[in-house]
Structure 1
Amino acid sequence: MRVAIAGAGAVGRSIALELLDNDHQVMLIERELANIAPETVEAAEWVHADACELSTLEDADIESCDVVIAATGDDKVNLVVSLLAKTEFAVRRVVARVNDPRNEWLFGDNWGVDVAVSTPRLLAALVEEAVAVGDLVRLLTFRQGQANLVEVTLPADTPLAGRPVRSVKLPVDSALVVILRGGRVIVPQGDDALEPGDELLFVATTAVEEDIRAALLH
């Protein structure tokens, strides 16, 4: 997979290293000369240019990329990069970093964003996930807000203890995708028995999140 990352600061470089470790091709586009440091991510292609410029993206052959990641520290820049990648070059998947949670509402289909990643919101969600038992915690949003990754940890007194997964009547537009139990990652099967302390991860639309919570409490 070929991935272009706009912004070669600490965040952009970290993402690049992770992707390279997974055998993807990575191109870093950076406007500030001070951030151009090929020795920090040697396997990446480096481009010294403004990712908000249409000509820059054309020269970089963005159209051939499978994914564009707008990872700068400026929300305005990330929105422009996302819009150009999606509308001018029809990039299949655009991921954008949200620096200020107050701007999160902008990062959607209108600006070409497929997945918006808000670091403050993600950190808050992870804190909630660590301490909240029995409550539904939203971890991540997909596809312009059409679906979310949500987590529920079953409490010690859960009425579902010992019951098979198939006995949980989930609403339409939701799916149980994984069960985390201790150090195990379990792909749920219908006959798998649920246990107190299980972390259940669902993909679901916002509209049915409360229905999931209700299904797990009864």
Structure 2
Amino acid sequence: MTLSFEKIFPTEEERYEKYIWLIKLTIIANICAYIAIILADADAMNLMRVVKFVLWTVIYIVLLQTAWKSRALHFMLRLWLCAASSAAILAALIPFFGFLPMLFGSVITIFANRKHLKIFLRYKDFLKYLAACFGIGFLMNMAGEIGVPGINNATLYQIKQLLLFYVLWRLLRHECKQGRPFRETIRILMLMPAFGVFLLLGWLTIIPMFRKGLFGEEGHDFLALER
């Protein structure tokens, strides 16, 4: 019998708590690995590589299980199939028109899906989280490029990881208190960024038939957990 995260932890509170603990342990492992590098302790570095590998493997297994059960993977597959078809059309047009069709198509795609984009406004906390992640990543990368006196890039990386964990921890804790199922939280976290990329290449949704087949009727919340 395959081990299931949801069977091992049957309540929503336990699922949130244990997932957060997995991330905490990963952060601690990263810090320990960083210290081992500073101390140039080969044995400690090898040990932490194994620990990090095990932790990340468990996290990815939990994510994949949850994404499958929430049907996030199914939805993403449909998104990417549509995007791949649109990309094939783009590849045929680029030799003749350059990248103008991509820009034009993206604008039209956003306009055609504007009513579906309004669904995102129902999830302002998730939007704030994604904006915070983007901001943290951008600022830390800029700091790495410019250079911060007394702080090397490895230290900046650790700071970035801690900040990213903090905003994720706040979001997960908030959604748990709001009573949102863990499945749905993971589904939204996976679909929101994927949909953002999709808007650049999902030109086929300009056609109402394809748009309805992908997102459902107008006003349908495609981000929410399918009941």
Q: Report the TM-score, using the length of structure 1 for normalisation.
A: 0.23
Question: TM-score, structure 2 length as denominator?
Answer: 0.23
Which structure is higher in RCO with an 8 Å CA cutoff and minimum separation 6? 2
Q: Whose strand proportion is higher, 1 or 2?
A: 1
More helix by percentage: 2
